[in-house]
């Protein structure tokens, strides 16, 4: 029998069950922490235990008893829901060794709500769960919680409810609770605590003081900090306890293996206490027996951190979808054998951007051979190093190459972050004067408001905007590509008395010309 941990508070009981979903179920969505059933005036508040995230969770809710108030609201009578009555009466009849009615069932359930009957209470709930799991219920899916991470099932009819977590954890169980709502207690607050280890992954966004969250944008080859947080599980009853982080990243992300650090209870764990194994899509950190780590206790924090970077493979695959990195926990789930469970994946996402440049004159003649360097600062001290590849120019941390427009006047730059860059022409096309001022490029992404609720293939980057000298540039939203047209005006022969200087023109992909220049005084 699998190990189960129980928590009791009044009529709340946390136990364990795996519940499949059936066609007759009524499915409702929880958005911003609320779902309305429009059946009455009662409500159940479900709180995440110990900050375990509830976004994406699904609960199965059964109303075991219907409740009817007296005309003066002085008392409430309970009647077994006919959908489940036969199954539940069978169980109680076997317990009491006699035939039973609705009141007998209710009295028996109430009799179990004391500290001396917790084991029997657990067994009874598990029997009820197994007996009615194929029958009709509400399926409540949490799309998003409220700001505190909680949800409210509102507009309920009065009754006696059983709520199960329909867990997507492989080879393990969710959590369930039994609770009553009536005129005396029309609003019930309960906690759901799953008995499996959970893990939460974060990426560090270094722009705009965002810090640790579920998404960020970066240059290619920039070090990106990742971490995930878990807790030491309840290992009582186990001789040994298998515990493993399985990390999977997009092939366009590369791990810096020497950066992996692991802490338990703020103490670094030496590498000989666990194994590191590289996999095709990432790596695994494995404790064959977590119980061998000294001086740790249930609930102690486990924090694993490392750095990775977007590699050159990302260049031709830049898009609004981004590049995901996810983790799950594999763990022992039965003290009697070596079976393993798996937690849900927790995912973060990284973005980077592309610049498609075009060099021409004001007659739209494409100019070959214009040479540029890119900088991160207006003083042009912090150069963005570039590597020429078959796709174009990719941001690198190695030896830098000049950016040169090809025979069609084109140059592509892959792997830019948000913020302002400066594109400096260092060599003009033959017959043209050098642009005197660098071209300013500002990249401004718009992300979802809640940056800590990302789910795989979900919304993160909503919109990408860019400008040059405060003039909007064309952006391909799906590809995260920014268009920039740089124009050199055709010159005239310089008279002895002097002439106007070169005019620098930045033109958007839409063909809007913006003059950012200043005429020189004639001599």
User: Residue 252's pLDDT is what?
Assistant: 98
Other Cβ atoms within 10 Å of 43 Cβ, number: 18
Instruction: Of 9-13, 191-195, 410-414, 451-455, give the range with the top mean pLDDT.
Output: 410-414
Q: Clarify whether residues 146 and 240 are in a common domain.
A: no
Instruction: Look up the CATH number of the domain holding residue 231.
Output: 2.60.40.740
Decide if pLDDT at 119 tops 70.
Answer: no
Residue 181 covered by a domain: yes
Q: Is residue 40 within 8 Å of residue 69, measured between CB atoms? A: no
Q: Clarify whether residues 359 and 330 are in a common domain.
A: no
* Domain closes at, from 347, 374, 390: 347
* Out of 28-42, 388-402, 486-500, least confident range: 486-500
pLDDT band at 520 (very low <50, low <70, confident <90, very high): very low
DSSP string, 169-218: -BTS---EEEEEE-SS-SEEEEEE--SS---EEEEEE-STT-EEESEEE-
Residue 521 covered by a domain: no
CA 372 from centre of chain: 38
| Dist. CA 226–CA 203, nearest whole Å | 5
Residue 350's closest CA among 474, 230, 447, 465? Answer: 447
Decide if pLDDT at 117 tops 70.
Answer: no
Look at strands 224-231 and 301-310 and give their pairing: antiparallel
Long-range CB pairs of 6-12 (<8 Å, 24+ gap) are 6/118, 6/122, 7/49, 7/191, 7/193, 8/113, 8/115, 8/118, 8/121, 9/190, 9/191, 10/113, 11/113, 11/178, 11/179, 11/180, 12/177, 12/178, 12/179, 12/190, 12/191
- Look up the domain containing 142 and give its range: 7-192
Residue 233 covered by a domain: yes
* Domain closes at, from 291, 314, 347: 347
Q: Clarify whether residues 171 and 257 are in a common domain.
A: no
Q: Is residue 247 within 8 Å of residue 260, measured between CB atoms? A: no
Residue bearing tokens 């927790």: 346
- Residue-wise pLDDT tens digits, 413-460: 999 999 999 999 999 998 899 998 999 999 999 999 999 989 999 999
* Domain closes at, from 136, 170, 192: 192
Residue 246's closest CA among 334, 173, 345, 350? Answer: 345
Residue 374 covered by a domain: yes
Counted domains in the chain: 3
User: Residue 197's pLDDT is what?
Assistant: 84
Q: Clarify whether residues 204 and 262 are in a common domain.
A: yes
pTM as predicted: 0.68
| Dist. CA 356–CA 201, nearest whole Å | 33
Q: Clarify whether residues 149 and 253 are in a common domain.
A: no
Q: Clarify whether residues 290 and 178 are in a common domain.
A: no
Residue 298 covered by a domain: yes
3-state class (DSSP) for residue 499: coil
């Amino acid at each position: 029998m699998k190990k189960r941990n129980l928590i009791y508070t009044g009529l709340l009981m946390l136990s364990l069950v795996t519940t499949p979903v059936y066609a007759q179920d009524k499915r409702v969505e929880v958005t911003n922490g609320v779902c309305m059933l429009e059946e009455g005036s009662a409500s159940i508040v479900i709180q995440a235990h110990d900050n375990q995230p509830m976004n994406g969770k699904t609960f199965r809710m059964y109303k075991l008893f219907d409740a009817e108030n007296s005309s003066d609201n002085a008392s409430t009578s309970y009647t077994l829901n006919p959908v489940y009555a036969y199954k539940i009466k069978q169980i109680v009849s076997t317990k009491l060794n006699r035939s039973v009615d609705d009141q007998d069932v209710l009295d028996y359930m109430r009799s179990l709500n004391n500290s001396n009957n917790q084991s029997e209470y657990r067994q009874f709930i598990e029997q009820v769960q197994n007996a009615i799991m194929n029958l009709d219920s509400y399926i409540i899916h949490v799309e998003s919680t409220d700001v505190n991470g909680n949800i409210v099932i509102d507009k309920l009819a009065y009754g006696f409810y059983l709520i199960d977590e329909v867990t997507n954890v492989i080879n393990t169980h969710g959590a369930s609770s039994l609770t009553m709502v009536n005129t005396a207690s029309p609003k019930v607050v309960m906690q759901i605590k799953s008995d499996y280890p959970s893990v939460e992954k974060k990426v560090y966004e270094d722009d705009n003081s965002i810090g640790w969250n579920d998404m960020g944008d970066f240059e290619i080859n920039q070090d990106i900090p990742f971490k995930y947080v878990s807790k030491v599980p309840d290992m009582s009853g186990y001789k040994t306890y298998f515990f493993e982080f399985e990390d999977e990243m997009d092939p366009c992300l590369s791990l810096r293996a020497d950066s992996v650090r692991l802490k338990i209870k703020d103490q670094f764990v030496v590498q000989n206490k666990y194994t590191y194994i590289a996999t095709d899509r990432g790596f695994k950190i494995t404790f064959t027996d977590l119980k061998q780590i000294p001086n740790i206790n249930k609930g102690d924090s486990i924090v694993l951190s490392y750095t990775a970077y977007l590699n050159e493979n990302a260049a031709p695959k830049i898009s609004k979808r981004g590049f995901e990195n996810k983790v799950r926990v594999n763990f022992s789930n039965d003290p009697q054998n070596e079976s393993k469970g798996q937690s849900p994946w927790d995912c973060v996402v990284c973005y980077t951007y592309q610049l498609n440049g075009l060099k021409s004159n004001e007659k739209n003649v494409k100019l070959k051979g214009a040479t540029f360097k890119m900088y991160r600062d207006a003083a042009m001290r912090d150069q963005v190093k570039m590597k020429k590849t078959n796709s174009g120019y990719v941001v690198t941390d190695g030896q830098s190459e000049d950016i040169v427009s090809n025979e069609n006047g084109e140059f592509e730059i892959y792997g830019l972050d948000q913020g302002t860059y400066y594109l400096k022409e260092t060599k003009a096309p033959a017959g043209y004067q050098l642009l005197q001022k660098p071209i300013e490029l500002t990249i401004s992404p718009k992300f979802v408001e809640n940056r800590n609720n990302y789910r795989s293939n979900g919304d993160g980057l909503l919109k990408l905007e860019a400008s040059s000298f405060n003039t909007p540039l064309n952006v391909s939203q799906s590809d995260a590509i920014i268009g920039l047209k740089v124009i050199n005006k055709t010159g005239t022969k310089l008279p002895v008395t002097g002439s106007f200087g070169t005019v620098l023109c930045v033109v958007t992909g839409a063909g809007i010309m913006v003059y950012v220049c200043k005429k020189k005084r004639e001599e």
